[in-house]
Amino acid sequence: IRGVAAIVGRPNVGKSTLFNRLLGERKSIVDDTPGVTRDRIYGDVEWLTQTFRLIDTGGIQLEDQDFGDEINMQVDIAIEEADVIIFLASAREGVTADDLAIARKLRKAGKPVVLAVNKADNEKLQMEVYDFYQLGLDDPITLSASHGIGIGDLLDRVMEKM
Ligand code: GDP
Ligand code: MG
């Protein structure tokens, strides 16, 4: 294992979709046991000749936590556990207040961050990427996790920073 990467981002940006896409066949396990999150959150990703461990922090949940606390906890876990953090946002919503808060926290932590703007399914949405320079992080990568666009570029960038 070369290192650990963690995906962070607000709910619904496509973290689980990206996680499943990067893991290929080894899909997220969904189980409806009450109160227990059984989403698969760890997996090993092979890229070219290397392997790294991937964490989907969105699958780490505690009950009775409000939205903001939950994202905060997920980002803390990523900062603690990962060598490289994949910060996922969405071209459909653009930069939100939660994105700004996450970016602030990541800049402070000083860990390598790969900024990826998901749901950039077409050229018009890909143009939204320029908005994300205001986060003051790395140059954003455009992705479409559900269509499988930009995945190779993302993996190259993660490996570069690991
Ligand atoms: P998470 O909450 O961040 O884990 O997000 P999910 O992976 O559960 O995805 C939330 C929703 O966004 C689902 O309906 C996905 O199908 C959708 N989604 C994920 N990736 C893309 C994408 O690249 N393009 C579009 N249009 N939808 C996506
Ligand atoms: Mg998820």
What is the predicted ipTM? 0.99
- What pLDDT shows up at residue 59? 80
Q: What would the mean pLDDT of 31-42 be, rounded to a whole number?
A: 56
Domain ranges of the chain: 4-161
Q: Each residue of 62-97: pLDDT tens digit?
A: 777 777 888 899 999 999 999 999 999 999 999 999
Residue nearest to atom 6 of ligand 1 (CA): 14
Instruction: Determine which residue's CA is closest to atom 9 belonging to ligand 1.
Output: 14
pTM reported for the whole predicted model:
0.92
Give backbone dihedrals phi and psi of 65, rounded to 5 degrees, phi first: -110, 140
86 within 8 A of 19, measured Cβ to Cβ: no
Residue 102 has pLDDT above 80, yes or no: yes
Give the pLDDT confidence score for residue 39 in this predicted structure.
59
Q: 4-161: what CATH class?
A: alpha beta
